[in-house]
Amino acid sequence: MNLLVTGAWIGAQEHIPAIEAMGHRVVFQQWETDPLPCGNAWVEGVICNSLFLHHPIEMFPNLRYIQTISAGLDRVDVDYVSAHGIELHNARGVYSVPMAEFAVGGVLQLYKQAKTFFENQKSHTWEKHRDLRELCGKTVTVLGCGSVGTECAKRFRAFGCRVLGVDLFPRQDESYDEILPLTDLNGVLPGTDILLLTVPLTKDTRGLIGADRLARLKPSGILVNIARGPVVDEAALADALRTGVLSGAVLDVFETEPLSETSPLWDMDTVILTPHNSFAGEGNSERLANLIIRNLEVD
C-alpha cells in the first residue's frame, strides 16, 4: 500500500523502516498544512491527525486506509469514509491511561483543596482546613463508556466510588456498577457527585451538557471534561460555577482552543484548567506504535 505518513505521529520516522519491511511504500510529510510531497492519486493510505482539515479527503481518489493518531474522529468525514468503503482506525486505548489518571487527579485536587494549600505553602502559612471531601462513597457518572471512560471507571471504583455509565450502547461491564442508555441521563444527574465526560464529538453530542443538565446536578457536583470542548455549553458552565449551581470543574478541553485570555474560567478558584494536555503520558509512544503496526499487519 502507498502510505502517506505525517509528522503528527511523533517518532514516525523511527518506525518507517519496519513499515516498509512489511511491503508498504511510505512518503513522509512533516507538517500537515504543507503541500503534499506526492501526487494525490498515489496515496492509498494515510497515518495522520488533522490532514483532512487542510487537504480535503475528496482529493484522494484511491484512498482506502486511514489511521488517525487521535482517539476522536471529529477531524475525519466519517460519512464520506463509510460511503466509500475506506478502512478507518483511530488510536483507541492509546491515551486512556493518562487521561483516566488526569481525571482522578483533577477531582482530588478540588476535593483536597490543593490550590489553597499550594498558595499557603508559598506564603509560609500554617492553616488547617477541616472541610476536605472524600472520594469514597461518591457517585461518578461516566458519559461515554469507551476505552477512556472505562479506564476512568476502574480508577474511581478503586477509590470506593459507585460508578454509573451512560452510553448509546449499554452493556454489562465489570468496570461499572451499571451502564444505562443515554435516554436515562437526565434521571441520573440529580444523584451524581462527579459527571465525567468522555464522549466523542458528533452532531448529537455537541452542546449535550447545557444549563438545564448542569442545574440537575447536586450543588456539590463537579464536572470533568476530557472529551471535546463543544460537548459543553461553556458560557452556561461558567455561569453555573459563578452562581454556585456547581461546586467545581476539571477542564482540559474548550469550545475554542487556545482558551481566550478573557475567559472567566481562568480565574475561578473552583476550576482545574489545563491546555488539552490530559492525554500526555510516557507510555503513549509505545502504545501508539504498537497499535499502528498491528493494524497495518492485518490490513
Q: Which residues are catalytic?
A: 228, 257, 276
Tell the burial category of 93 from Cβ atoms under 10 Å away from its Cβ (0-12, 13-18, 19+). middle
**Rg from Cα positions in the chain:** 21
Beta-carbon count within 10 A of 37 CB: 11
| 135, three cell numbers | 472520594
Distance, in Å, from the CA atom of 26 to the CA atom of 19, rounded to the nearest integer, reads: 8
* Rounded (to 5) percent helix, strand, coil in the chain: 35, 20, 45
Angle, CA of 230, 232 and 237, to the nearest 5°: 135
Task: List the one residue out of 265, 292, 205, 252 whose CA is nearest residue 98.
Answer: 252
Which residues make Cβ contacts (< 8 Å) with residue 90, sequence separation at least 6?
A: 67, 68, 70, 71, 72, 73
- The amino acid sitting at 226 is I
Distance, in Å, from the CA atom of 158 to the CA atom of 178, rounded to the nearest integer, reads: 16
| 122, three cell numbers | 508559598
Q: Are 79 and 102 in contact (CB under 8 A)?
A: no
Q: Which helix (H) or strand (E) holds 165?
A: strand 162-167
